Amino acid sequence: MNYQEMTDDDIDLAVSEIVFGKTLGRRTNYTFDKAGFVFTGSGHSFTPLDNENVVFTPKIKPTSSWADAGPIIQENRISLFASDDEGKWMAQFINYKTVHMDKNPLRAAMIVFLMMKGGE
């Protein structure tokens, strides 16, 4: 998968799925309210646009929140380094093979996290 082409929202959603261990395919954890319905028991919530389309939003925003990303970075031993390459940051897993560079250090770290988990 080409993580560089993913939006921050796509990365947040993918990370949220991994962290909370749920998939979008689960249809048993819905609760309904007047505004539509909310997906509970996982890392996602959604409100339907119409009868056929649903917009999913992640429970956490690790590409923009240090509070959300910090525990993931620490628990997965992802390192961040400042780079001289156009103000980019390098995120790296301890195996030295899983590396990504981005101007947003959190995005770089979450892409490395997805790369690490992609083989599972």
Q: Domains in the chain, start-ordered, CATH in brackets?
A: 3-117 (3.30.2120)
Q: Contact, 106 vs 66, CB < 8 A?
A: yes
Read off the pLDDT of residues 19-56 as tens digits, 9 standing for 90 and up: 876 554 333 344 444 444 454 445 455 555 444 445 56
What pLDDT score does 34 carry? 46
The values of phi and psi at residue 64, to 5°, are: -135, -5
Does the model's pTM come out above 0.85? no
What pLDDT score does 16 carry? 84
Distance CA 101, CA 85 (A): 9
Amino acid at 109: A
Out of 8-12, 52-56, 111-115, which region has the weakest mean confidence (pLDDT)?
Answer: 52-56
Q: Contact, 55 vs 49, CB < 8 A?
A: yes
